[in-house]
């Protein structure tokens, strides 16, 4: 497995623990629809939250959250619509981003609520 993939999995685990500690119920992990992969689908009260996790070792190439472009946002929205449709759900939804810089057991987490 590549270092990038390992770092991604570490980031997703950190994000899951972060959300659980904030009273989110984790419903799905790495849910796929077409070219979209939603890292975490969680629920907080009456809101279904689609979470993109971005993890890097440093800010050398910019902040992790800066890697999300309009194409990624559009794919996430399409995936969310499909998820609600196939599961026959009617929830308020939102799209969050969890940005993580993780290096040598030092972790910085930033949670962007309603990021897009």
Give the global pTM.
Answer: 0.91
Long-range CB pairs of 57-60 (<8 Å, 24+ gap) are 57/7, 57/101, 57/102, 57/103, 58/101, 58/103, 59/101
Per-residue pLDDT of the chain (116 residues; tens, 9 = 90+): 677 788 889 999 999 999 999 999 999 999 999 999 999 999 999 999 999 999 998 888 889 898 899 999 999 999 999 999 999 999 999 999 999 999 887 899 999 999 99
């Amino acid at each position: 497995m590549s270092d990038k993939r390992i770092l991604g999995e570490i980031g997703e685990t950190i994000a899951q623990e972060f959300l659980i500690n904030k009273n989110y119920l984790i419903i799905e992990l790495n849910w796929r629809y077409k070219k979209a992969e939603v890292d975490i689908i969680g629920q907080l009260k009456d809101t279904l939250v689609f979470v993109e996790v971005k993890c890097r070792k440093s800010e050398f190439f910019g902040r992790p959250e800066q890697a999300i472009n309009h194409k990624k946002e559009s794919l996430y929205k399409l995936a969310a619509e499909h998820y609600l449709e196939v599961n026959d759900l009617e929830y308020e939804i939102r799209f969050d981003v969890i940005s993580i810089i993780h290096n040598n057991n030092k972790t910085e987490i930033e949670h962007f609520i309603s990021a897009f």
